[in-house]
Structure 1
Amino acid sequence: MVSRLRRTLLAALVTASVVVPICGAARSAAVVAPVPAPLAPVRGATPAVLAERYAANRDAIRAAERMAAAHGHRGRATVLRALGDPSRQFLSFDGRDGGRTAEVFGDLSRAELIAVLVPGSDTNLDTYERFQAGAVALERQLGGRAAVIAWLGYETPGTVSLQTMTPTRADAAAPRLRRFVRELGAFKPGSRISLLCHSYGSVVCARAASGLEIADIVLYGSPGVGDDDVAGLRTRATVWAGRGAADWIADVPHVRFRLPDATVGFGVDPVSPEFGARVFPAGDGGHSDYLKPGSVSLDSVARIVSGQLPPAEDRRA
């Protein structure tokens, strides 16, 4: 059985090695952007301090828009023009390599509950709208005492790529996520922080989890995290896992093995009893539907962030 799964993954690697070079010219990371000015860590979550940070990043976004337009990247310039709207709230922005952002939805200065969304593959400035939509839906579901932060703090792998089957990108991203969450906890002491980790983002969260002062880690649409069980995450947070009935990720082989230059696969299924997470109802949705308005999964995730139990735990694999 393991031999057959290895052959399946190796076939996928071969496919990716053919497809990725063909698609490379269109990669979001190819769009030029300026080096952002360094910003000091946020020292407090007062409205004035946050307004100053949001304004600084708005300036950085507008500079990136001008550079994209000057180099003929009209699609990216359009995206950046929307991000630079005065109503948007960015704690950080870097337009290089597909984009690095941390956008706040809700009033962070007053928030008692904070959800940090960590995205999966193929999330970048050019696909940002779908990531934003999930953050908006969750913030509305949570209500006024909560803030949601869409953390696009790493170069995500392509869905059809070599990187999406290895932890390489997650290993690079984890220190950044750990640093961001620790800074967030420092200027928002006493708030209840949850990490919400979609697809490949669950691998990032697992790598970052150790030592973080957070309440929950929520894995959804996860291919596995590279650990055999919850204990491997070395966290005091409650670890949750959910998968929609129509999510194709269920068909990904749950194996992990070493090749000469890489580890391939992420091991145990996070919704299996063997892994040991608390499994929440995720409804009948697909891989991109977990934060869809009106969905069972959105309701479950919002309850977890609020410190409530979902209506029932669902042990379907």
Structure 2
Amino acid sequence: MRASRLRRAFAVAAAAGAMVFSVAGTSGSAASGMPAAPRLPGVQADTLAERYGANDDFIEKSERAARRMGDTARADHLAELAEPGRQFLSFDPRDDGLAVEVLGDLAHADRVAVVVPGSDTTIDTFDELGTRYAALAGGARAVHAEMRRLSPDTKVAVVAWLGYHAPRTLSRDVVTTARAQAGGAQLRVFVAQLKQANPAAPVTLICHSYGSAVCGSAVENPASTAAPLDNLAGIAVVGSPGMGLRSASDLAVRVPLWVGRGADDWIAGVPHASVSVPGATIGFGTDPLSREFGARTFDAGRGGHSDYFKPGGLALHNLALIGLGHGEAVSHD
């Protein structure tokens, strides 16, 4: 029964995706006119400033190129990314784009949190997705501010990680694991890079919605050649359709795995199953909030799917505590 519901969900998403992508998929499609990407040094403590500066110039050049091509909407979004004081570890303006922004002093942080976003996240929605706090940048800023408020003496850095191509909500990709698997491999490499920039700082992944499947793929029992995760200290998952895992025991590293879901989050109605069809896996397996999954649960409040990073909210408070390594203070359902 659950498999048949999942197939119906896939059919609806695929049909809707065919309709909306004729319009929604056009933004940034003229990326062939964008400037060439700069040559960047590796991610090291003493190269961060160079990377930030090079990407700042790249974003400004990309903005000017977008205006020349008549893509005013993209240019306006890039202008916001280019505002003074922002620190981008990486940036790619092609198609939906990729961007990794750092809040705080990454090289000298005591704790690092990486926010992994869900569907509809692009460089055009990086700063606003319905609301500011629902967008990746706003969510990361809210986590950073709450961590600093809760522990003023702790040096924290938060990374807004759009290092994978997130699916659109109304698309066939959003109900399959392909982008999560590709993104998981990229996320795993990024966590290893963080250790090069700051060997001492424990890293916590904060994963929202489809981003939880990306995180699940990153930490699932890896091949022996995969990048190590010995700096990973914890994972917090919110609004998850499933992590693509049968249970928390599928994690390759033994770190606390926390799961929360807002009382008004529609994701609770998503069927929790996994169905293999030719060329794809549809669905993300066991509900991470279920007893059989075996994760630690926390109280995510009364909010909906886009409210986890809302300033002043219980979900944000608990996520910040997890990011600080204060699991003992987290409130439970």
Same fold, TM exceeding 0.5?
A: yes
- Range moving further from structure 2, 170-179 or 268-277: 170-179
Deviation of 1:234 after TM superposition, in Å, equals 1.9
Matched to 1:100, the amino acid is L
SS in 1 for 2:276: strand
- Residue of structure 2 equivalent to 1:221: 239
The answer to whether the aligner puts 1:30 opposite 2:29 as a matched pair is: yes
- Residue of structure 1 equivalent to 2:194: 184
Q: How many residues are matched?
A: 310
Deviation of 1:14 after TM superposition, in Å, equals 4.4
Alignment CA distance shift 1:311-1:195 (3 Å): closer
Q: 1:138 aligns with which of 120, 143, 146?
A: 143
The answer to whether the aligner puts 1:256 opposite 2:261 as a matched pair is: no
- Residue of structure 2 equivalent to 1:148: 158
Q: 1:121 aligns with which of 96, 119, 122?
A: 119
The answer to whether the aligner puts 1:301 opposite 2:319 as a matched pair is: yes
Alignment CA distance shift 1:106-1:177 (3 Å): same
Contact 1:79–1:126 (CA under 8 A) maintained in structure 2: yes
The answer to whether the aligner puts 1:97 opposite 2:95 as a matched pair is: yes
- Residue of structure 2 equivalent to 1:280: 298
Deviation of 1:252 after TM superposition, in Å, equals 0.7
The answer to whether the aligner puts 1:236 opposite 2:235 as a matched pair is: no
Deviation of 1:6 after TM superposition, in Å, equals 3.7
Contact 1:28–1:125 (CA under 8 A) maintained in structure 2: no
Deviation of 1:75 after TM superposition, in Å, equals 1.4
Alignment CA distance shift 1:13-1:133 (3 Å): closer
Q: 1:79 aligns with which of 77, 80, 84?
A: 77
Deviation of 1:15 after TM superposition, in Å, equals 2.9
Contact 2:41–2:51 (CA under 8 A) maintained in structure 1: no
Distance in 2 (CA, whole Å) between partners of 1:85 and 1:7 is 44
> Which whole-Å deviations, capped at 9, do the CAs of 1:257-314 have from their partners, x for residues lacking one?
1112211111111111111110111001111111110000000000011111244322
The answer to whether the aligner puts 1:312 opposite 2:310 as a matched pair is: no
Alignment CA distance shift 1:146-1:17 (3 Å): closer
Deviation of 1:53 after TM superposition, in Å, equals 1.7
Contact 2:298–2:332 (CA under 8 A) maintained in structure 1: yes
> Which whole-Å deviations, capped at 9, do the CAs of 1:144-197 have from their partners, x for residues lacking one?
511100010111100010000001111221221111110111220110110111
Distance in 1 (CA, whole Å) between partners of 2:74 and 2:17 is 27
| Runs of 4+ deviating beyond 6 Å | none
SS in 2 for 1:126: coil
Alignment CA distance shift 1:78-1:7 (3 Å): closer
Distance in 1 (CA, whole Å) between partners of 2:62 and 2:53 is 14
> Which whole-Å deviations, capped at 9, do the CAs of 1:122-153 have from their partners, x for residues lacking one?
00111111211111111111115111000101
The answer to whether the aligner puts 1:159 opposite 2:162 as a matched pair is: no
SS in 2 for 1:97: coil
Structure 2: runs of 5 or more not aligned: 128-134, 223-227
Contact 2:259–2:298 (CA under 8 A) maintained in structure 1: yes
Q: 2:104 aligns with which of 106, 111, 132?
A: 106
SS in 2 for 1:96: coil
Structure 1: runs of 5 or more not aligned: none
- Residue of structure 1 equivalent to 2:132: none
* Identity among equivalent pairs (%): 45
SS in 1 for 2:114: strand
Matched to 1:178, the amino acid is R
Distance in 2 (CA, whole Å) between partners of 1:275 and 1:76 is 41
Matched to 1:285, the amino acid is G
Contact 2:18–2:171 (CA under 8 A) maintained in structure 1: no
Q: 1:172 aligns with which of 166, 182, 185?
A: 182
State the structure with bigger RCO (CA 8 A, min sep 6), 1 or 2.
2
The answer to whether the aligner puts 1:200 opposite 2:200 as a matched pair is: no
Alignment CA distance shift 1:161-1:299 (3 Å): same
- Residue of structure 1 equivalent to 2:131: none
Distance in 1 (CA, whole Å) between partners of 2:78 and 2:10 is 38
Contact 1:35–1:96 (CA under 8 A) maintained in structure 2: no
Distance in 1 (CA, whole Å) between partners of 2:275 and 2:237 is 22
- Range moving further from structure 2, 101-110 or 183-192: 101-110
- Residue of structure 2 equivalent to 1:212: 229
Alignment CA distance shift 1:288-1:31 (3 Å): farther
Q: How high is the TM-score relative to the length of structure 2?
A: 0.88
The answer to whether the aligner puts 1:266 opposite 2:289 as a matched pair is: no
